[in-house]
A and B are shown apart, each in its own frame.
Chain A
Amino acid sequence: DQQVKQNSPSLSVQEGRISILNCDYTNSMFDYFLWYKKYPAEGPTFLISISSIKDKNEDGRFTVFLNKSAKHLSLHIVPSQPGDSAVYFCAASGSSGGGADGLTFGKGTHLIIQP
Chain B
Amino acid sequence: DAMVIQNPRYQVTQFGKPVTLSCSQTLNHNVMYWYQQKSSQAPKLLFHYYDKDFNNEADTPDNFQSRRPNTSFCFLDIRSPGLGDAAMYLCATSLRWGDNEQFFGPGTRLTVL
On chain A, the residues within 8 Å of B104 by CB distance are 36, 43-45
Interface residues of A in 1-19 (CB under 8 A from B): 2, 4, 9
Residue A107 is within 8 A (CB to CB) of chain B in the complex? yes
CB of A59 within 8 Å of the partner chain: no
Contacts of A98 in B (CB 8 A): 97-100
Chain B residue nearest to A44 (CB atoms) is B104
Bound-state Cα–Cα, A45 to B104, Å: 7
Asked if A107 and B42 make an inter-chain contact with CB atoms under 8 angstroms apart, the answer reads: yes
Q: Sorted from nearest, which 9 A-B pairs have the closest CB atoms?
A: A43-B104, A98-B98, A102-B45, A99-B100, A105-B42, A97-B98, A100-B97, A105-B43, A107-B42
Q: Within the complex, what minimum Cβ distance (angstroms) separates A104 from chain B?
A: 8
Q: Does A49 contact B105, Cβ atoms closer than 8 Å?
A: no
Range class of the A interface residue count:
20 to 34
Question: How many B residues have CB within 8 A of the partner chain?
Answer: 31
Smallest CB separation, A54 vs chain B (Å): 13
Known pairs A100-B94, A106-B42; A43 contacts B105 (CB<8 A)? yes
Does B62 touch A at the CB level, under 8 Å?
no
Residues of B within 8 A of A99 (CB): 94, 98-102
Contact of A42 among B94, B102, B106 (CB under 8 A): B106
CB-CB under 8 A from A46, the residues of chain B are 101-103
From residue B84, how far is it (CB to closest CB) to chain A in Å? 18
A2 and B44 CA atoms in complex are apart in Å by 11
Interface string of B23-35 (1 = CB under 8 A from A): 0000000010101
Q: Mark A71-115, 1 if CB is under 8 A from B, else 0.
A: 000000000000000000100010101111111111110000000
> Which of A4, A9, A97 is the most central at the interface, judged by chain B CB atoms within 10 Å of its CB?
A97
